[in-house]
Structure 1
Amino acid sequence: MISFTGGLVLFAALLHASWNAMLHGNHDRLLSMTWMSVAIAAVSTVVILFTPWPVSKAWPYIVTSGLVHIVYNVTLVRSYRRSDLAQAYPIARGSSPLLVTLGAAFFAHEAIGPLHALGITMISGGIIAIALQGRHVSRASVLAALTTGATIALYTVIDGIGVRLSGGQALAYTAWMFLFYRLMPVLFVAKRGLAALWTPARTAPMALGSSLVGGLVSIAAYGIVIWALQSGAMGAVSALRETSVVFAVLIGRVFLREAVSAKRWLACVVVAAGAVCLGL
C-alpha cells in the first residue's frame, strides 16, 4: 500500500501535470512561464518572512538549485515549442528518475532494493513508451526533452541533499530556492521588453490568470516533493512524482483533445504498476 508520503507525492504528481497542461495550453509559453514565476516568487517572498533563516550548510544547494530551476524553465518552454504535451512531457519526465537514482547513489550514497529498482525502471520505461508510440519523434524534439529531463534530475538531487542539510527546514529551503524565480521576468524583459510583459493584463486576462494559478499549483507540487525528499529515497520519490505523466495523458486527452492510443494506455498501466512496486 502507498504510504502517506507516497500519497502526497502522487497528489503532487497530479498538481504537476495540471500546471504543465496550463503552460502548454497557453499560446505564448515563455510569457506564461514568466507570469507563473512572478506568482511563485511573490508567494516565496511572503513565506520567507515567517520562516527561520536557512542553515549555512543548505545555502550552496539553495542557490545552485534556484539557478538550475531557471534553466529548467527555459528548456521546458523550448521542448513544448517542438512537441505536444503527450510527447514532450513524458520524455522529459521519464528520463529523470533513472538519472536521479544514479545521482543519488553517487553523491548521497543511497541504495535501493530490487523491488524499488524494478518500480523505478517500470515507471521510466512506461513513461518513455508513452512518448514514443504511434508518432514520428524528431531528433530536435528528443534532444530538447532530454535536456529538460537532465535538468530535472540535477535539481532533484541537489534539493534532495540540500533539504537534508537544512535541519528540518523544508519550507524555508523551498521558499528561498523559489525566490530565484524573480530572475524569469528579468530575463523576459531583457529579451522582449517591459511592454510585452504587461500587455496580457489588458489583452488576455484569462491567460494571465491561468498562468498565475499555474504558478501557485507549481510551488505546492514541488514543495511537497522537497518535503518528501527529506526522508524518502531520491530515485523512488522522483519516480513516484513522474507518474504525473499518466495524469498529463488524461489531461491532454480530456482538455486538449490529444489522441491516446491503446498502446499508450497500456504504457500508463505499466507506470501505475511501477508505482505499486514503490509502495510495497
Structure 2
Amino acid sequence: MASAPLGDSLETAAAGPAPATPGLTLVGVGPGDPELLTVAAVRSLRQAAVVAYPVAREGAEGMAAAIAAPWLSPQQRRLPLLFPMVAEAAPRIAAWHAAADALAAEVAAGLAVVLLCEGDVSLFASSSYVLLALRQRHPGCPLRLIPGIASVAAAAAAGAWPLALQQESLLIRPTPESPAELEALLAQAAASATVLALLKLGHRWRWVRPLLAARGLLEAALFAQRVGWPDQQVAPALALPAAEQPYFSLLLIRQGWPAVLP
C-alpha cells in the first residue's frame, strides 16, 4: 500500500502528535522561509512540549521563533533564552551556561524540548555554544540535533549559483575585517580553486565592493541579504552600490571555473 503524502502525515501530527520521549532537540529552522524546514524538524516541533529560542534582548520575539511560528501550536510553552549580542566574553559565557541549565531542567522534569536555531545547528550557530555547555554541565541530558538549511546554500539556490564543482573547495567564513586581509584571502582562494562564501558582510561592503571591482570580480559574485525572508535580495554584486548593508548579508565569490563544463 502506498504511504501517505507528506502533507497528510503532518496534518495528522498537528491534530494529535505522538508522545515524544523526554529530551532536548536542537532544530535548525533554515534562514527565513518556514517552507525550508525539514520533515524531521517539523515533526520534532509538533511533538515538543516546550519550544526554546534565542533572543538578543528581553521581550524580543527572536528570528528563529518567527521562522518556526507556522509550525507551532498555542498549547506549547515558549522559553526565550537571552543571548546578548556583546563583545565581552563573560556575559556570553554566563548566558550559555544559564541556557544549558534551563533546558536541562525542563528535560529533567520529563518534557520534550526543542531549541530553535536559525540556519543550521552546527554552522556559526548559537545552539553550538549551548551544546558545548550542556556537555560540560549536564552530560546526561538526552540530545538530538536536526540540521537545517544554511543561508549560504539557500542563497546559492535562489541565485542559481553553483557553490562548488568537481575539485573546487568551498570556504565559509565571516568577511575579513580589513582590505589587506581580504586581498590575501582572494589570492589564496584563486591559487587553490576555492569558492568563497563570506558572511556578516554588513558595513564592510563599503570597502569590499571597490576592492572586488578593481579585481574584476563584481559581475560574477553573488550578493544576498535576508535570504528566505519576504524582503530577500539576491543579485549580482555589481548591482549593489558601495553602501552599508544589513548584518545578515553575504557574498559568494568564484574566481574561475573548472576546465570541464557543459
The TM-score, its normalising length taken from structure 2, stands at: 0.23
Higher relative contact order (CA 8 A, sep 6+): 1
More helix by share: 1
Mark the structure with the bigger radius of gyration. 2
The TM-score, its normalising length taken from structure 1, stands at: 0.22
